[in-house]
A and B are shown apart, each in its own frame.
Chain A
């Protein structure tokens, strides 16, 4: 057979009936010469075939999952390890950062809830949230450093002596 002959073959009519046999609507009607039945058992059998074929493909050709834009040297063990490690890093890093930001904000909010009300505190609306004082990166180390520099904590704005009762407002 010459190559030009292959162009005249209706490949869809040769291949498609077999595909419909596996993935089609099931037995019960005649289409492309395939008898089918539309019964629950037919759908279950079709689903089972799909699962078996897909599982076989995934088990038989796992190397295709390593295809990526930078894997010009796919095939070595160290490259495979690096690919999987970097996939884990790139997957977990954003989650860790988002979790860290949420934890940081929750800690600041909890600290603000337990801190004593200042006389300068006021009810703020969405349009007036800008420009007020903020604890920022205050940590235990920061507070210790402040105490070292000026023998008192600048983050403590309550004029009452240390140890007095602190209530959330």
Chain B
């Protein structure tokens, strides 16, 4: 009886190798759609800001965005992205330290989200809401959308850490979680530069 491999071997004499897993390729394409989503938001923000009168493009009651605190948050996010990259390399090398590195990266990412939430609490307490002004609406929508993506990516990293700890982490899952977290990390400086300045 002819097996599937024998049939394929007869049809395709040259062996083929998978160069990228389907999971990773799917995540890359998904990240591409997410990039376009944020590009649309930032495009609307840029055009509206360029055409708005200066005295109308601000927060109510003299509130300003905390640039310094957010810069510190950004550093924490960058450190988290670097640790995720190192954890991936350690996992590939079979090093047991990958578990601690991935946990540290996840905690740093969670710290970023928590500090951003603290910033939001301060703004809301100061009277800045979604309907306060056009700038406030854009700020909450864009930064809030990024925070939702960061939370989703953190859940992915947490699951990856749990699987790594129990020895059930597949290479494809880690690559997918890494890719999504890299997207969250790399899109943030663009948002920070456009919205906060």
Q: Do the beta carbons of B95 and A122 come within 8 Å of each other?
A: no
Please determine whether B35 and A129 come into contact, CB atoms closer than 8 angstroms: no
Fill in one digit per residue for A58-89: 1 if any B CB lies within 8 Å of its CB, else 0.
00000000001011111110110111011001
From A93, which residue of chain B is reached at the shortest CB distance?
B39
Number of chain B residues close to chain A: CB under 8 A: 45
Contact of B32 among A97, A105, A123, A154 (CB under 8 A): A97
- A71–B47 CB distance below 8 A: yes
* Contact indicator per residue, chain B 39-56, by CB within 8 Å of chain A (1) or not (0): 110011011111110000
Q: Would A105 and B50 count as touching, CB distance under 8 A?
A: no
Contact check, A123 vs B47: say whether CB atoms are below 8 A apart.
no
- Number of residues on chain A facing chain B (CB within 8 A): 52
Residues in A whose Cβ lies below 8 Å from that of B20? 105, 108, 134-136
Report A91-104 CB contacts with B as 1/0, cut-off 8 Å.
00110011001001
**Is B48 in contact with A134, judged by CB distance below 8 angstroms?**
no
| A10 interfacial by beta-carbon distance below 8 Å | no
Name B's interface SS: helix
B: which residues have CB within 8 A of A?
A: 4-5, 8-9, 12, 15-22, 24-25, 28-29, 32, 35-36, 39-40, 43-44, 46-52, 86, 88-90, 92-95, 170-172, 175, 178-179
Chain A residues in 8 Å Cβ range of B95: 149-150
Asked whether A134 lies within 8 Å of B52 as measured between CB atoms, the reply is no
